[in-house]
Amino acid sequence: LSLSLSFLPPSSCSHHSHCNMDKKLRRARAVLAKREDISEVPTRCAILGNVGLALGNSEAEVRAALAGFAMEAISMRLPDAFTIVTFDSPDTAARVKDKLDGQQPSPLTRPICILFIAQVVEEPETVLITASGPCDQVPGLTVVHDFISKEEEQQFMSFVDQQAWLGLRHRRVQHYGHFFDYSKNAAFAEAPQPLPSFSSLLIARMMGDARFMRTCPDQLTVNEYLPGQGIPPHVDTHSAFEESICSISLLSQIIITFRKGSDCVSVVLPPRSAFFMNGEARYVWTHGIAQRKADMVGLTPVARARRVSLTFRTVRTIRCTCPFPECCDQDSKADVRSLEEQRAEK
C-alpha cells in the first residue's frame, strides 16, 4: 500500500489552481503592457500587477513583500488592481524585477508581474461616496438609499427570475418597452414585452421628485451581475435616450465608478437603492463597474453576490440638444426619426 501511494499523481485540484494563477498573471501583464507609459528600460518607477486595493491588498503587505529594497513611495488607489512603487534608483527597480517578477513574495497571496514606467503622473485620490442624497462631486447625480422596500425587492425578483434572459458576453439582460441594440447603441425597436406591471409604481415614485426623473420612462433594461462581472466605463448614448436615467439595485451591494478626465468618484450602491443621472452626470461623466469579486469600502473588502439592476430610460424621438456638444454623438448620427415613421416603414 505504501508503495502504491508513493506513485499517486499530484492533486488535480492543485494543478488546476496553479493554472488559474498563471492565467490571471498573464492577463494582468497583458493589460499593463498596453499602457502608454511602459518603459523597455529600467526606471525608478515600477508597476506591480496582480496586487492592489481592488484585490484586498494593503500598503503594509506591499512593503513587507519588497523588504530589503530601498523604496521612496508606494501608490495604491481604488479601483486599481495594481500598485506603483518608486525605488531609490533604476538599478534597484531592475533587481526587484529580476528577483520577483512572476513570483509570489510573502505575505502576498498571488504571483505578481513587474513592468517599468517611464514617468509617474500623480493623480488625485478616488473619492468614495457612501451617503444618500445629491452627489456634489458629480453634478446631476443623486443616490437614494431604500428607494424600494424588501417586500418590493422580492416581488420584482420573483417576476424577473421567471422571464427569459438574453446572454451577452459578460452578463445577462432583459428588455422591456423597447429593445436596446448593443451593436448600434440604439433603442428604437419595440420589445416583445411591455414594461412590467410593477413599473407603474416605480415610475410614479420617480416622477414625484424633480431631482429624479424629468421624462417619463418607457424602456427598462434588467441586468444581472454575478461576482466578477461588470460593465466598462461608458456614457449612455445621447441620441438614443433622453436626459434622465434611473437604475435600481437589487439583492447585492456594488461600487459604481464615475470618471471625468482625472476626476474619479466611486459610489457605494446598497441593495434597494437607486441612483439618478441628469445633466453633467448623465451626459459627460462615464460610469462603470469593475470586474472583480469584492469591493473595498474604506479598508474593508466586501464580497460581491448576485446583483440585478433595473435601469429605466426614455427613448429619444427628437434630436439631442444637450449643452455638451463636445460629448454628444448626435451629429455623427442620422436625424432621429419618430417611432411613428419607423412603424410606417414596416
Assess contact for 302 and 212: CB atoms under 8 A: no
CA pair distance 3, 283, nearest whole angstrom: 70
Average of per-residue pLDDT across 149-169: 94
**Predicted pLDDT at 182:** 65
CA atoms within 13 A on the CB side of 92: 15
Average of per-residue pLDDT across 8-27: 64
The model's pLDDT over 294-319, given as tens digits with 9 standing for 90+, comes to 887 776 778 899 999 999 999 998 89
**Can you state the percent helix, strand and coil of the chain, rounding each to 5?**
25, 30, 45
Residue with cell 432621429: 336
Average of per-residue pLDDT across 188-206: 87
For residue 24, give the nearest of 55, 47, 62 by alpha carbon: 55
The model's pLDDT over 97-146, given as tens digits with 9 standing for 90+, comes to 999 999 999 999 999 999 998 755 444 557 889 899 999 999 999 999 99
Assess contact for 134 and 141: CB atoms under 8 A: yes
What are the φ and ψ backbone dihedral angles of 214, each rounded to 5 degrees?
-105, -10
Average of per-residue pLDDT across 150-165: 96
Q: Across all residues in the chain, what is the average pLDDT?
A: 85
**Predicted pLDDT at 335:** 41
C-alpha cell at 12: 488535480
Which pairing describes strands 127-129 and 263-269: parallel, antiparallel, or unpaired?
parallel
For residue 97, give the nearest of 52, 51, 46 by alpha carbon: 46
**Predicted pLDDT at 180:** 73
Assess contact for 214 and 244: CB atoms under 8 A: yes
Residue 221 to residues 203, 234, 314, 323, Cα–Cα distance (Å): 14, 16, 11, 26
Assess contact for 279 and 140: CB atoms under 8 A: yes
Q: What percentage of the chain exceeds 90 in pLDDT? A: 55
Q: What percentage of the chain exceeds 70 in pLDDT? A: 84
Which of the two residues, 10 and 144, has the higher pLDDT score? 144
**Predicted pLDDT at 82:** 92
Residue 179 to residues 55, 183, 192, 303, 312, Cα–Cα distance (Å): 36, 12, 8, 32, 12
**Predicted pLDDT at 276:** 97
CA atoms within 13 A on the CB side of 255: 28
Does residue 234 sit in helix, strand or coil?
strand
CA pair distance 61, 63, nearest whole angstrom: 5
Average of per-residue pLDDT across 221-228: 93
**Predicted pLDDT at 197:** 93
CA pair distance 94, 92, nearest whole angstrom: 5
C-alpha cell at 245: 436615467
Average of per-residue pLDDT across 61-75: 92
Which DSSP string corresponds to 128-182?
EE-SSEE-TTSTTEEEETTSS-HHHHHHHHHHHTTS--EE-SS-EEEEESB--BT
Assess contact for 47 and 34: CB atoms under 8 A: no
CA pair distance 243, 282, nearest whole angstrom: 7
**Predicted pLDDT at 334:** 40
For residue 316, give the nearest of 174, 186, 212 by alpha carbon: 186
Alpha helix (H) ranges present in 254-306? 279-283
**Predicted pLDDT at 15:** 52
